Chain A
Amino acid sequence: MHLVQCANKECTAVAAISSGDVDIHDALDAAGCKCCTQPHNHGKAARDTGVPCRPVTITLAGTEVS
């Protein structure tokens, strides 16, 4: 599972990605993060415009190797 949080330490929005192929910025957007100062917030649309978006931290857990 991945936990995605905004770089803004005061932001409480957390996106959990448990499987599949989910864009981490889109997931944070869906989780309600409104910290990005750009009008399009986080997400693919922000990156497509080339306008910087507030960075996010993705923390991974539960990876088993053998």
Chain B
Amino acid sequence: MASMTDRTRAASIMDAILHGGTAPTYPTALHLRLMTAQGSNTSNGTESTSGNCPGYTAGGVAITFGANSAGVSTSSNTPSWTATGSWSTVTSVEIWDTAGTPLRWFQGALTANITGVANGDTVQFASGAVTCDASVW
């Protein structure tokens, strides 16, 4: 996966560096959202819902990252959901902030789709499972 999700925010960061402009308001907390259809770097994907993925709540759950090392930041917690029914296929994830009007900051496809989740199953991301690589911004 490459490039920061929303080019307008990436551009404003770049502009602040190049011209001393105003940087965007940086997030204070982030949520990991599951997607049934991947978006692009300029458009949102289709988020899972409590209807097609029972046990999932729109808006996602908290995700945290460790300090960047050699250009790569890795997730440091274990976002998790327990299914209360059969899920539609999950293909990708997005990372949003938690502002009053949340903004999307990153997105990416899963290495493999999540298929066949049934009632009672647990879906979780291991610590370190999600990475952000500065080299692909």
Contacts and interface: CB of A to CB of B under 8 A. Distances in A.
A17 B89 CA distance: 14
Given A60-B110, A64-B108, A65-B93, A23 B115 contact: yes
Chain A, interface size category, equals 20 to 34
Given A1-B111, A57-B121, A65 B132 contact: yes
Contact of A63 (B5, B108, B118, B119): B108
B113 interface: yes
Interface residues of B, number: 39
B103 interface: no
A61 B94 CA distance: 15
B114 interface: yes
B123 A58 contact: yes
Contact of A47 (B86, B122, B126, B137): B86
B58 interface: no
Nearest to A17: B112
Contacts of B117: 24, 58
Interface of A is mostly: mixed
Contacts of B89: 21
B130 interface: yes
Interface string A1-14: 11000010000000
A64 B121 contact: no
A59 B86 CA distance: 17
Contact of B114 (A7, A53, A60): A60
Interface of A: 1-2, 7, 17-26, 44, 47, 52-53, 55-66
The 9 residue pairs across chains A and B that have the minimum distance between CB atoms: A55-B120, A23-B116, A65-B108, A65-B106, A61-B129, A57-B122, A24-B116, A21-B113, A17-B112
